[in-house]
Amino acid sequence: MTYFTSWEEFAKAAERLYLADSLKCRFVTKYRHCDGKLSVKVTDDKVCLQYRTEHAQDVKKLEKLTGHLMRHMASKEK
Amino acid sequence: MLLENDAFLTELTKLFLKGKTTGSVTMTMKRYDGRLKPKPRSGNLPEPNEYKCLVRASLGTKKLTTVINHKDVTKFQMAYGNLLKANMDGLKKKDKKAARGRKKAKATQ
């Protein structure tokens, strides 16, 4: 699957994929300091959503999404 | 290597420092139902009453793992977020001059 161009769309799709089957979904963040690149991937081994960036302002958005999903993962909700 | 939450964060900081020169730091986050045995082939397991979050990080061959319980999630999530913000500092900063130029261009249009 190709990369998303907008973070907002990516975040929305990622959340939807996670909620569809929360136990199957994984959230991968890859950071390359030497190239100044960051990529994020969310997949359930059927659908794969990806986003990549070189801009520092995306880190804050990533932190927000990570925190949000992490809270849900370690919760009592289904 | 399975670590406690705090130890994981310290090791992750070290991993980021090591990754400054070369290599990619990868972090994976997944929901975890807490099972330590494989799923039985027949019959369903009772629903766990609380889920956990499994966080893995790796750089080259070095691997770190931690499990976050529900009661620790707020603390961990904040520390982890700050750690990411502090360590992902190799990206391009927003070019203020370019942004200003663009705004001006818009205003004159």
Give yes or no for residue A74 having a pLDDT over 60.
yes
Mutation to test the A interface, candidates B29, B63, B85, most A Cβ within 10 Å = B29
Tell me how close the Cα of A21 comes to any Cα of chain B, in angstroms: 10
| Contact map slice: A 23-62 vs B, CB within 8 A | 23, 25-34, 36-38, 53-60, 62
**Which residues, other chains included, contact B47 with Cβ-Cβ below 8 Å and sequence gap of 6+?**
A78
Best A30, A33, A48 member to test B by mutation, with max B CBs in 10 Å, is A33
Residue A45: is its pLDDT beyond 90?
yes
* H or E element, residue B109: none
**Model ipTM value:** 0.88
Determine, for residues A75 and B27 on separate chains, whether the beta-carbon distance falls below 8 Å. no
Closest CA to B47 of A45, A17, A73, A77: A77
- A22, two tokens: 């929360």
Question: What does the alpha-carbon distance between residue B102 and residue B21 come to, in Å, rounded to a whole number?
Answer: 34
Per the listing, tokens 């991968």 go with A28
* Cα torsion B17, B79, B63, A24: sign: negative
Q: In this predicted structure, what is the pLDDT of residue B1?
A: 85
